[in-house]
Amino acid sequence: MKPHITLVNPAAPVGAVMHWPFALLGLGYLAAVLEKNGYKVDVIDCQVEKLSLEQFTQEIQKRQPNIVGITSSTLTYKSGLNLIKATKQALPNCTTLAGGPHVTFWDDHALEECPELDLVIRREGEATILELVQHLEANKPYDDVLGLTYRKNNKIVRTPDRPYIEDLDSLPFPARHLWPMEKFKEYEDVLYLSMSRGCVYWCEFCCTVRMHGRQYRMRSAQNVVDELEYLYKTYGKTKFTFCDDAFTVDQALVEELCSEIIKRNLKIEWNCGSRVDMVTKELLIKMREAGCISFWCGIESGTQQVLDAMKKGITPELTEKVMGWVREAGMKPVPNVILGFPGETKKSAWKTIKFVEKIAPDAVGFYNVATPFPGTPLYDQVIANGWLRVTDFDKYDTTRPIFETPQLSMKELGKLRESAFHHYYLRRAYFMDKRRRFKIYTAITVGMHLVANIKLKLKRN
């Protein structure tokens, strides 16, 4: 009998800030590959279903899988381990797996911290999980399966890394049907997909290169639009988000994608994220014509010194020019910012806050706190300098300071982030905007931030 596999997305820690739940592409691709090869697969998404540990245990007991695979970001790592422990307690003979970016770089620690965890799948998992399941089905040892970490004779063993999948078109579309798709309407009416893997840059705060390689691998435009059309016809969705780290690296391919969307007369809206040095004004206009309504980009900082420390490879001047192009094309610019990167000072942080308000005055920036995720060069730097102050991964949600430097304490950084939001909503430009003036929600928003700002100033005194 073929094994039954259950894939699991853990719940976020209580009080943590996270993105709206959506059908995770990583789990979706794993499930699709397993289904394609004839295996029974289901998904338990504790975030979407709002399951407690007890409710998850009941689900596992009801489904009786032979293999349980749990994904984990750094923020959901501890939650994932708790689910693995509950699984082993409920089903002692079940094989437990963990995968995702956090355990890829924390594999030995995970196995040491959780005796109930049997194996870790590192980096991209589609080929690895299929081969592993085939070995388990045949009751064969898995020493020759690439990309695994496990225990053998009381020692941690790593098999060699598996080469990356070169032909992304060979992968089936994510198995979204395994999620309760109707429930996502409670959060947002958007579906997520990706066109690429890997990155050609290696910013100090990012683990993409270590996870997916420093080579940009792309799906064909035909394949991506086939998926968009399938999602439109299957779920009736017209709004999409591309999750790529740098959507416009291959500008010719993006133009081809846009042409294909227009050719098929798909009446859709979508958004994407990319780098400001990998887009042209002409491409942005083409993207808008094909339905792109907003353009996310990591501007990260408004000062060259901090950008250079991040190895971002851009300038504030280029960012300002490209954000102007985005607005001219009729799209909404959505800047992402990182405050508190090593080398940041109060002065440089405020320059960044005001820079964001200048280049995107009608959309609040996402002011994230520099967070040293395992697998990033930033983590290595923070550990080497002895700056780490918070080791509880439940706090790694990019809103709370985790480390401090000689230039900026954690307390100062936390206040800077709060002040960034207050400053945005208390600007005269926000209150006097024609679209917001005399609106009740504007008065409420300004009032809330005014009170919060007064409290923050009182705390300082």
Using an 8 Å Cβ cutoff, are 319 and 213 in contact?
A: no
**How many Å separate Cα 366 from the centre of its chain?**
14
> So what's the pLDDT on residue 378?
97
Q: What residues contact residue 293 under an 8 Å CB cut-off, 6+ apart?
A: 269, 270, 271, 331, 332
Burial of 11 (0-12, 13-18, 19+ CB in 10 A): buried
User: Does residue 185 surpass a pLDDT of 90?
Assistant: no
Helix, strand or coil, per DSSP, at residue 56 = helix
Residues 275-301, mean pLDDT to the nearest whole number:
96
431 band by pLDDT with thresholds 50, 70 and 90: low
Tell me the pairing of strands 119-121 and 148-152.
antiparallel
Rounded to an integer, what distance in angstroms lies between the CA atom of residue 108 and that of residue 375?
13
420 band by pLDDT with thresholds 50, 70 and 90: confident
User: Does residue 423 surpass a pLDDT of 90?
Assistant: no
Residues 12-27, mean pLDDT to the nearest whole number:
89
Residues 185-202, mean pLDDT to the nearest whole number:
90
pLDDT top residue among 215 and 89: 89
* C-beta atoms surrounding 15 within 10 Å: 9
Rounded to an integer, what distance in angstroms lies between the CA atom of residue 425 and that of residue 298?
21
> So what's the pLDDT on residue 164?
96
Helix, strand or coil, per DSSP, at residue 425 = helix
> So what's the pLDDT on residue 127?
98
**How many Å separate Cα 103 from the centre of its chain?**
15
pLDDT top residue among 188 and 105: 105
**CA-based end-to-end distance of the chain:** 69
pLDDT digits over 131-143, tens only?
A: 999 999 999 999 9
Q: What's the angle, vertex CA 250, arms to CA 244 and CA 251, rounded to 5?
A: 105
CB-side neighbour CA atoms (13 Å) of 317: 1
Residues 184-190, mean pLDDT to the nearest whole number:
85
* C-beta atoms surrounding 381 within 10 Å: 18
Percent of the chain with pLDDT over 90: 80
Using an 8 Å Cβ cutoff, are 316 and 352 in contact?
A: no
> So what's the pLDDT on residue 461?
47
Strands (E), 212-365: 217-218, 239-242, 269-274, 292-300, 332-339
Q: What residues contact residue 146 under an 8 Å CB cut-off, 6+ apart?
A: 128, 131, 159, 160, 161, 162, 163
Rounded to an integer, what distance in angstroms lies between the CA atom of residue 461 and that of residue 207?
39
pLDDT digits over 328-375, tens only?
A: 999 999 999 999 999 999 999 999 999 998 887 666 657 899 999 999
CA distance readout (Å), 6 to 39, 63, 71, 412? 11, 8, 11, 44
* C-beta atoms surrounding 62 within 10 Å: 7
Which of 12, 121, 149 has its CA nearest to residue 74?
12
> So what's the pLDDT on residue 434?
58
Structure tokens at 40: 């029974």
pTM > 0.75: yes
442 band by pLDDT with thresholds 50, 70 and 90: low
> So what's the pLDDT on residue 256?
98
> So what's the pLDDT on residue 231?
96
Using an 8 Å Cβ cutoff, are 27 and 71 in contact?
A: yes
pLDDT top residue among 262 and 443: 262
Rounded to an integer, what distance in angstroms lies between the CA atom of residue 246 and that of residue 327?
19
> So what's the pLDDT on residue 444?
63
Say whether domain 188-425 belongs to CATH 3.20.20.70: yes
**CATH entry, 4-158, from 3.40.50.300, 3.40.50.280, 3.40.630.40, 3.30.70.360:** 3.40.50.280
> So what's the pLDDT on residue 196?
96
Spell out a b/e string for 299-321, using b for 16 or more CB atoms within 10 Å of the CB, else e.
bbbbbeebbebbebebebeebee
39 band by pLDDT with thresholds 50, 70 and 90: very high
> So what's the pLDDT on residue 446?
58
Q: What's the angle, vertex CA 180, arms to CA 178 and CA 182, rounded to 5?
A: 135
